[in-house]
Structures are given as structure tokens and as C-alpha cells.
Amino acid sequence: MSTFNLEKKLMDLYDGNKDYEGVSGSRLAHRLGEISKIGLTTDYGSNRPGFSYEEKQAKELVMKWMREAGLEVRMDGAGNVIGRLEGKKDLPAILSGSHVDSVPNGGHFDGPLGVLSALEVVEAWKETGYQPEKPFEVVIFTDEEGARFNGGFGGSEAMLGTADIDEKQKQVDTNGLTFAEVLEEIGLTVDGYAASNRNLDNIEMFVEVHIEQGKRLEKENLPCGIVTGIAGPCWLEFTFIGEAGHAGNTPMNDRKDALVAASEFIQAVHKLPSQFSDSAVATVGKIQVEPNGVNVIPGAVTLFVDIRDIYKNTRDALIEAVIDTGKSVGKKHHVAVTSKENMRVNPVPIEEETQKLLERSFKEKGIRPYKLPSGAGHDAMVVGEKLPIAMLFVQSKDGISHNPAEWSELKDCVETVHVLKQFVESLQV
């Protein structure tokens, strides 16, 4: 473990020329490095599951930094951390932040970068003597990744009042602990969790900085970009039912091969999204073949289609097209096809006016505005169901995420902090 030093790795590639107006790359690198030591794996990855001691330890470290920066700090019943800087006026607050939990053996930027970027804005204001007109809150949401209970967004749902408490109490983690028992381990309760929803009238907007987890910004050679919306996923489960038979004794013209039909369906699904929108995607990522024998014609295939778009109308039209394609392929190959919907979450588009304000902030900092959708879910998606949101993506090397190799250059992170700071200041009028 002693050979891993995230802070040094970040600073080795940083010349400091992005440090101005109180923003410090070395401070950001140091803090990313300190958080990386909590839950460090043998692969030099991050292991801080939601509602774990490691997540709590990372929160406590950031809370210490928040207090040193002059913020009023509290933790709610869901474990969400809120560091508040009062504004000159008693107005609804601007919130910014992300999460510090991780997937098992994940990276060191997904989540912590968003939290520390928001805190770095506060540090810069402190150094330059700036006080915003509106209150500004740095937020750490609990359990964004959902590694403990295969869910996610536990903290943001609690704060927004959208958590299904009854369903959560039915959950059991991989160690056999119930949701209530897991909360108790870190000093929380189900009653406290349920009571952590806020008065949303006191919040104007939530702004989240996050790594892109894709390659678009890298290909454009840009440090950061403007998120146009967060895609809402829909998961469909299809079963193709043919007829199993001997691979040697069944003629090719007398088969009901479920896998051949499913294969044609998969190819067709791959081509469908572009017919509906530039941001739509569809993926067949899981498949089960029965009886799955080398010398047996497949009699049944079950597969799962993940469909996403940032626009609800085109996403839903694509869903219908995928279902219709399954029916037509089944009919062509004389196999039965059934489908069912396992999940459908509404997309969260980001308002055009917000995007325009972000564009101006980019131009103020000499960065070409570039817009891109978010295919992954984020706390901003949960918040965006009830409140205005904005989101900035930071360039990800090779698009790698949820992996110890996850990487964003410090200069790109610092430039994003400058854009975030400029944007939040533009909201003060």
C-alpha cells in the first residue's frame, strides 16, 4: 500500500498555472489523496460501501475540512452531510456536492471529486473575501452507489422525501444484516432516516460535478462539459422459447432455434436507438441459454435489454420499438416471445436556461462549451425530480470508471472548479 500516493501522482502532472482566484490545485490533490487512503484496496482501488464505517470515516474527514473553511456543519438522519455558508440575504440556498461511497474496488474520483470541488469553491471565496448573496451548501449524499443493498441513492432519496421506507426495511445485505441493523452499526436509525427529508422551498438549485465515465470530453480535448440531461433507464426482460433438439440429428430447415432468433433480435436492438434520438442507447448485457449444451439446439433464451435516453418521449418510443422487434423476430423464426418490464425511471432533462448560463461560465473561463448527456444515474437525477439541477462532467481518461484505473487530470479538475465557481456566482443576481 505504501507505494500508492494519489496526491503525488496528481501533482506530478500539474504545473500550477490553473491556480488563481483562491482556487488551489494542491489543496484539491491533497484532499483527494487523503480520502483515497480510506478503504484502499490491495489493487489501489477504493472500497467504501454506503452505510459503512469507511464511508462514515470519509465523511468525518470532509466535515473537519468544512468546519476549517468556516461552514456550519450538520449530519441528518440518513447520514447526509451538509456544510452551510450563509449568504448576505435570507434566500433559498444553492447546493453542490456528490458522494464519498464507492463500489467495491472502485476509483478515487467518482463522488469525492464533486464534494471537494464544491468545498474548493468555498475555500476560494474564503481566500478572496467573497460572500455570496444566497446561502451555499456543500452536500455529501449517503450511499449513492448502492453497493450494500444493490439499490443506490439512499441519501438523496431520503433528503428529497422519495425513499420507500417499507421497501428499504425489507432489504438484507450480503452479510445477512437488515437495513435497520446496518443503520444501527453506524449510529443511525430507520426513524431518523425517514425524518431526514427537507423543506424544498429553501433550496433553489443543486449543482453536481462528476467525472464523465465516458470518452467524449477526452476526444474533444476538453477539461469539462455541460450535461444536458440524465438518462432514465428501462430494463426489459425477453424470453425466446423454441424447441431443444439434438444438434446432429435435427436438419437445419426443421429447427426452432431460440438462440438464432435472439441473436437476430440483439443485432436489431443495436440499430434502433439512432432512429429515435442522438442520445438514446440500448444494450443487451445479460443472456441465459437453455439447456446450454454444446450438442443441443437452444430451446430457450432469456435476455435483458437496458434502454436509456435523456428525453422521455423518445425513450418510451424506443421501448415500444424494441418490444415490437421482439415480436416480429419471434414470428419470423417460429418461436414464442414474451417480454416484461422490470424497471422504468423517468429521465431528468436539464433546463435550457440553465445550460445557457453554464455556457456563459465556460466562455468566461476560456473553455469551449461542449454539451453531452449522462447515461449513468447520479444523485442529481433524484434531486432533479423535484428541484432544478445543473451538472458538470470532468474529463475521464479512457472513459474508465468504477475501477482502480479511474483517472482525471488535476488540471481538468481545477478548471472545472473554476467553472463551478463562476456559475454559482452568476446565480447570485
DSSP characters over 305-322: EEEEESSHHHHHHHHHHH
Element (H, E) at 341: strand 336-344
How many folded domains does the chain comprise?
2
Q: How far apart are CA 268 and CA 271, in angstroms?
A: 5
260 and 355 within one domain? no
CATH code for the domain of 104: 3.40.630.10
In the block, residue with C-alpha cell 451538509: 82
Angle (nearest 5°) at CA 265 between 264 and 268: 90
The pLDDT assigned to 375 comes to 87
- Domain assignment present for 333: yes
Whether residues 175 and 240 fall in one domain: no
Q: Which residue, of 304, 324, 344, is where some domain finishes? A: 344
Q: Give yes or no: residues 38 and 95 share one domain.
A: yes
| Grid coordinates given for 85 | 455558508
Please indicate, yes or no, if residue 387 is contained in any of the structural domains: yes
Predicted confidence at residue 174, as pLDDT, reads: 84
Give domain status of residue 279, yes or no: yes
Q: Are residues 247 and 295 in the same domain?
A: yes
The pLDDT assigned to 2 comes to: 57
Given 296, 323, 344, which residue is the final one in a domain?
344
* Whether this model's pTM surpasses 0.95: no
pLDDT of residue 345: 85
Are residues 329 and 351 located together in one domain of the fold?
Answer: no
The reported pLDDT for the residue numbered 368 is: 98
In the listed set 292, 314, 344, which residue is the last one of a domain according to the structure? 344
Asked, for residue 316, whether it belongs to a domain, the answer is: yes
Closest CA to 93 of 102, 105, 85: 85
**Same domain, yes or no: 160 and 201:** yes
Q: Please indicate, yes or no, if residue 59 is contained in any of the structural domains.
A: yes
Give one DSSP letter per residue of 84-121, joined into a string.
EE--SS--PEEEEEEE----TTB-SSTTHHHHHHHHHH
Q: Are residues 155 and 13 in the same domain?
A: yes
The pLDDT of residue 152 is: 87
How does pLDDT run across 238-260, given as a tens digit for each residue? 999 999 999 999 999 999 999 99
Collapsed DSSP state (helix, strand, coil) of residue 409: coil
Same domain, 259 and 406: no
Query: What's the domain range around 303?
Result: 232-344
Handedness of CA 115, 121, 127, 133 (dihedral sign): negative
Q: How many residues does the chain have?
A: 429
354 and 258 together in one domain: no
Query: From CA 407, how far away is CA 377, in angstroms rounded?
Result: 19
- Say if residues 330 and 336 touch (Cβ distance below 8 Å): yes
Please classify residue 235 by burial: count the beta carbons closer than 10 Å to its beta carbon, then call 0-12 exposed, 13-18 middle and 19+ buried. middle
Of 290, 289, 299, 294, the C-alpha closest to 248 is: 294
Looking at the fold, whether 339 and 257 belong to one and the same domain comes out as yes
- Residue 1 within any structural domain of the chain: no
Residue 189 makes CB contacts below 8 A (sequence gap 6+) with 77, 180, 183
Q: Is 313 among the domain residues?
A: yes
- Check whether residue 189 and residue 155 sit in a common domain: yes
pLDDT at 245: 95
226-241 confidence digits (pLDDT tens): 999 999 899 999 999 9
- Spans of the chain below 70 pLDDT: 1-2
Is 314 within the bounds of a domain?
A: yes
Query: What separation in angstroms does the CA of 41 have from each of 45, 154, 321?
Result: 5, 24, 44
Question: What are the angstrom distances between the C-alpha of 260 and each of 235, 247, 400?
Answer: 22, 13, 33
CATH of the domain at 329: 3.30.70.360
Binding residue ranges: 99, 110, 145, 210, 402
Q: Which residues are annotated as a binding site for Zn(2+)?
A: 99, 110, 145, 210, 402
Measured distance CA(300)–CA(315) in Å, rounded: 28
Give the span between the Cα atoms of 384 and 388, in whole angstroms: 6
82 and 138 share one domain = yes
